[in-house]
A and B are shown apart, each in its own frame.
Chain A
């Protein structure tokens, strides 16, 4: 029985160890200064969508989870409620589970409803599964996945 309990404890601790991130020398490649991260905004409400187009207000038109290799533009729309000026919306894109790129914008107005990240590639995007994790004030709040096929 003690063996079982020990193994059970070891098994439960596995996933939580993913949270620990060790400092690495590659961090020095961040040449730009790191801004002061705003404090958490517990009232913010976020919904992330992928789309081929947005309207003039930044709303996703026909949100999609599947794109073609011929699609040259992909929008990631982060719909916000209760955003605050100077909060930071960030996204990290992954392709087949591997890091692609990260981008951020700083909220310019308390009225912000849509934060739109647009990615354009004249040659289209490679087939595969993409994941976009959305962070608000440095903390992951949601994600959106889509496939290019």
Chain B
């Protein structure tokens, strides 16, 4: 009698453990399917995974991405805590690192007026011109929004936007090599 009771108790315990484990495995699978943000701890893989998700799986995500990045401008800056900020490039997979020099130092807010500064710099400031050109030549946004075109990036820096090849699904992107030395055409 005692043995029978012990056997039943063991089976009940095993069943309970099995159910718990199965629930955990199922929850993990659901989590994997839902969130691309947890896809990878590797940058390149995360970008590829994200682009794949946008291109193949989630129309709603594509529309959301388009809505957010359509007229968005992106910039980056580096600050060493002493000389202020140096405007640098927003780039993905870039070959040429933006080298910061003291002459390039400027604040983010002043650099927000890059459009005005750039047009004036050609005549008044070689340092800023050099800085802007460096930024513009290597600026690359990586996204998948067809509407994230250079013409739509008219916010902070026209010069940067004009030479920023978007990487993504924009099949009409005419010039992946538009990283030439001149960034002021069209202004």
Contact = CB atoms under 8 A, between A and B. Distances in A.
A14 B28 contact: yes
A14 B25 CA distance: 6
Contact of B84 (A19, A26, A56, A104): A56
B53 A35 contact: no
A15 B27 CA distance: 10
B81 A114 contact: yes
B99 A108 contact: yes
A106 B100 CA distance: 10
Q: How large is the interface on B (under 10, 10 to 19, 20 to 34, 35 or more residues)?
A: 35 or more
Contacts of A94: 36-37, 50
Contacts of A18: 32, 38-40
Q: Provide the main secondary structure of the chain A interface.
A: mixed
Interface string B13-52: 0100110011011001101101111111111111111111
A128 to B, nearest CB: 8
A103 interface: yes
B147 interface: no
Interface string B79-98: 11110111011111111011
Interface of B: 14, 17-18, 21-22, 24-25, 28-29, 31-32, 34-56, 58, 61, 64-65, 67-69, 71-82, 84-86, 88-95, 97-100, 107-108, 112, 140-143, 155-156, 165, 167-169, 176
Given A58-B84, A108-B98, A115-B78, 11 more contacts: A26-B56, A30-B142, A32-B176, A57-B82, A92-B50, A99-B47, A100-B143, A103-B92, A103-B142, A105-B91, A117-B90
17 contacts: A4-B21, A10-B21, A23-B48, A24-B52, A29-B168, A31-B167, A33-B95, A102-B50, A105-B91, A105-B98, A106-B98, A107-B97, A108-B98, A117-B76, A120-B72, A126-B64, A135-B43
